[in-house]
Chain A
Amino acid sequence: MQYALLIYEDEALYGPGKKGPAIQEIVSRHMAFNRELGTKRVGGSGLSATSSATTIRTKGGKQSVHDGPFAESKEQLGGFYLIEAKDLDEAISIAKRVPILHEGSIEVRPVLGPG
């Protein structure tokens, strides 16, 4: 079964455009975590700052393109892992080990389809 682990943190911690000093620290922690995950890691990546985000909205059969992320919030989607886990408990125990700089949330979502 595959799960997406969605990482939500306050991206302001990483400086403008996510280029501050904290980014070095978190990237090296993620690299270590990747090695630790081994074959349980199916995919994933960090995401550029929400200032680079573009949202395409479909409403009433019409599409419109907007600057910015889908939702403005205190914590933003900053990256994700796609992992292989036998059940939700294994996914949760992996999610608990995902590096977080100070505080944040990891959303665990099963991937649709025959997993």
Chain B
Amino acid sequence: MSGAALERVFREASGRIVGALAARFRDLSLAEDVFSEACARALEDWSNKGVPTDPAAWLYQVGARAALDGLRRRQTRTRFESQLSADFAAQPADVDDDAVIPDERLRLIFICCHPAVGVDARAALTLRLVCGLSTLEIARAFLVSETTMAQRLTRAKSKIADAAVPFELPAAQFWPERLDAVLATIEIAYGNAHEYAAATHRQPRLDGSAV
């Protein structure tokens, strides 16, 4: 498989995997980091041994393992972590990815669009985490510099972590106000993706997941 093909696999899987990892470890930055780590390992591993039958499941499991290693290294030996390890140990090694990777993208969208996240960061964060666009691509779509966008994304992720924005879907009584933010964000994300795609003659791969 060529580098470009691999990149496509990574990107298409990214929303589901980052979402599932974030929901499981309750940490967006960690989820993002270990997903990149898994992709880096995949580049090496797959060129030697070939692409696994289910690349997404492979990436998820390698990412989850890296996250657990990271947590152990950080010495956060809380009861929560031992619970995570127990959950992880209980999981089968290789099954089909719908069973392995819970689809947490909706949860992830609600987190990215929480009213506590700045309005200017919501769509960008959604494109980054749910759609797997690079910071540079998002910066171009929003007509700002890559540094500005990187800062905006970092600030949003810190806010989510520091203020403890919940990883659960909002309770029913919050849906009306929360849904507006989500729909507005999706509209912006969709619009920007289209403009960007038109400008660069690339397929707007976000369409499916955006709708």
Interface SS of B by simple majority: loop
Q: Mark A86-99, 1 if CB is under 8 A from B, else 0.
A: 11111110000000
Whether the Cβ atoms of A89 and B174 lie closer than 8 Å is: yes
Whether the Cβ atoms of A87 and B165 lie closer than 8 Å is: yes
Could you say which of B166, B170, B171 has the most chain A C-beta atoms within 10 Å of its C-beta?
B166
**Residue A110 is within 8 A (CB to CB) of chain B in the complex:** yes
Residue numbers in A under 8 Å from B163 (CB-CB): 88, 108, 110
A46 to chain B, nearest CB (A): 25
**Residue A22 is within 8 A (CB to CB) of chain B in the complex:** no
Residue numbers in B under 8 Å from A92 (CB-CB): 116
Whether the Cβ atoms of A89 and B162 lie closer than 8 Å is: no
**Residue B114 is within 8 A (CB to CB) of chain A in the complex:** yes
Question: In the complex, what distance in Å separates the CA atom of A90 from the CA atom of B174?
Answer: 11
Residue numbers in A under 8 Å from B171 (CB-CB): 89
* Chain A residues numbered 56-90 whose CB sits less than 8 Å from any CB in chain B: 86-90
Task: Name which residue of chain B comes closest to A110, CB basis.
Answer: B163
Task: Name which residue of chain A comes closest to B166, CB basis.
Answer: A87
Residue numbers in A under 8 Å from B114 (CB-CB): 88
Residue numbers in A under 8 Å from B5 (CB-CB): none
* Chain B residues numbered 146-203 whose CB sits less than 8 Å from any CB in chain A: 162-166, 168, 170-171, 174
Residue numbers in A under 8 Å from B164 (CB-CB): 1, 87-88, 91, 110
Residue numbers in A under 8 Å from B174 (CB-CB): 89
Residue numbers in B under 8 Å from A108 (CB-CB): 163
Question: In the complex, what distance in Å separates the CA atom of A73 from the CA atom of B162?
Answer: 27
Question: In the complex, what distance in Å separates the CA atom of A1 from the CA atom of B164?
Answer: 8
B151 to chain A, nearest CB (A): 21
Residue numbers in A under 8 Å from B165 (CB-CB): 87-89
Residue numbers in A under 8 Å from B170 (CB-CB): 89
Residue numbers in B under 8 Å from A88 (CB-CB): 114, 116, 163-166
Residue numbers in B under 8 Å from A90 (CB-CB): 166
Question: In the complex, what distance in Å separates the CA atom of A21 from the CA atom of B165?
Answer: 39
Given A90-B166, A108-B163, 12 more contacts at CB 8 Å?
A: A86-B166, A87-B166, A87-B168, A88-B114, A88-B116, A88-B164, A89-B166, A89-B170, A91-B164, A92-B116, A110-B163, A110-B164
Residue pairs across A and B with Cβ atoms less than 8 A apart, 18 shown, are A1-B164, A86-B166, A87-B164, A87-B165, A87-B166, A88-B116, A88-B164, A88-B165, A88-B166, A89-B166, A89-B168, A89-B170, A89-B171, A89-B174, A92-B116, A108-B163, A110-B162, A110-B163
